[in-house]
Structure 1
Amino acid sequence: MKGGVGKSTTAYNLAVGLVKFHQKRVLIIDIDSQGNAGAALGIEIWQLQKQLKDVLQRHAKLSEIIVKTNSGVDVAPSNILLAEEEIPISGLPGRELLLRKAIASVEAQYDFILIDCPPNIGVFTINALMAAEGVIIPVDMSYLGLLGIKGIERALSLIRDSLEHPIQIAGALATRFDGRNNLSKEVQQSLHNHFGDRMFKAVIPETVKLREAPSHGLSIFEYDASGTGAKAYRELVDEVIKWQ
Structure 2
Amino acid sequence: MARKLAVFNMKGGVAKSTTAYNLAVGLVKFKKQRVLVVDIDPQGNAGAALGIPIWQIDFQLKDVLQHKTPIAQVVVSTASGVDVVPSNILLAEEEIPISGRPGREMLLKKAIAPVLDKYDFVLIDCPPNIGVFAINALMASDGVIIPVDMSYLGLLGIQGIERALALVREQLEHPIAIAGVLATRYDRRNNLSKEVLDALTNHFGDKMFKTVIPETVKIREAPSHGQSIFEYDPNGVGAIAYRDLVNEVYKWQ
TM-score range, shorter chain: over 0.9
1:23 is displaced (CA, Å) by 0.4
Q: Quick one: distance in 2 between partners of 1:90 and 1:65?
A: 22
Partner secondary structure for residue 51 of structure 2? coil
SS at match of 2:97: helix
Q: Is it true that 1:166 corresponds to 2:175 in the alignment? A: yes
Higher relative contact order (CA 8 A, sep 6+): 2
1:240 maps onto 2:249 in alignment: yes
1:57 pairs with 2:75: no
- In structure 2, what is the equivalent of residue 28 of structure 1? 37
Shift of residue 243, structure 1, vs aligned partner? 1.8
User: 1:134-175, CA deviations, whole angstroms, 9 ceiling, x for partnerless residues?
Assistant: 000000000100111111110110101111000011110000
| 2:155 paired residue number | 146
* Matching residue within 205, 213, 216 for 1:196: 205
2:127 to 118, 125, 134: 118
Deviation (angstroms), 1:60: 1.0
Match of 1:157 in 2: 166
Is 1:219 aligned to residue 228 of structure 2?
yes
Which ranges of 4 or more aligned residues in structure 1 deviate by more than 6 Å?
none
2:92 is aligned to: 83
Q: Deviations over 1:162-221 (max 9, x none)?
A: 110000111100000000000000000000000000000000000000000000000000
Contact residue 36 and residue 84 of structure 2 kept, 8 A: yes
Distance 1:103 1:229 in 2: 31
User: Aligned equivalents of 1:168 and 1:110: distance in 2?
Assistant: 20
Match of 2:190 among 169, 181, 184: 181
What is the CA–CA distance in structure 1 between the aligned matches of 2:158 and 2:63, rounded to whole Å? Answer: 31
Q: Which residue of 2 aligns with 1:72?
A: 81
- Give the Å deviation of 1:84: 1.3
> C-alpha root-mean-square deviation of aligned residues, in Å?
0.6
Shift of 1:93: 1.7
* Paired AA for residue 226 in structure 2: G
What is the DSSP-based 3-state SS (H/G/I as helix, E as strand, rest coil) of the residue aligned with 2:157?
Answer: helix
Asked if 1 retains the 8 angstrom alpha-carbon contact of 2:179 and 2:252, the reply is no
Selected match of 2:114 from 105, 114, 121:
105
Mapped to 1, the partners of 2:23 and 2:195 lie a distance apart of 26
- TM-score normalised over the length of structure 2: 0.96
Asked if residue 13 in structure 1 is aligned to residue 11 in structure 2, the reply is no
Greater Cα offset, 180-189 or 80-89: 80-89
Q: CA separation in 2, counterparts of 1:68 and 1:205?
A: 29
| Deviation for aligned residue 1:79 | 0.2
**How many residues were matched structurally?**
244
Q: Partners in 2 of 1:129 and 1:166 — Cα distance?
A: 10
TM-score (norm 1): 0.99
Take 1:150 and 1:76, find their aligned partners in 2: how far apart are those partners?
30
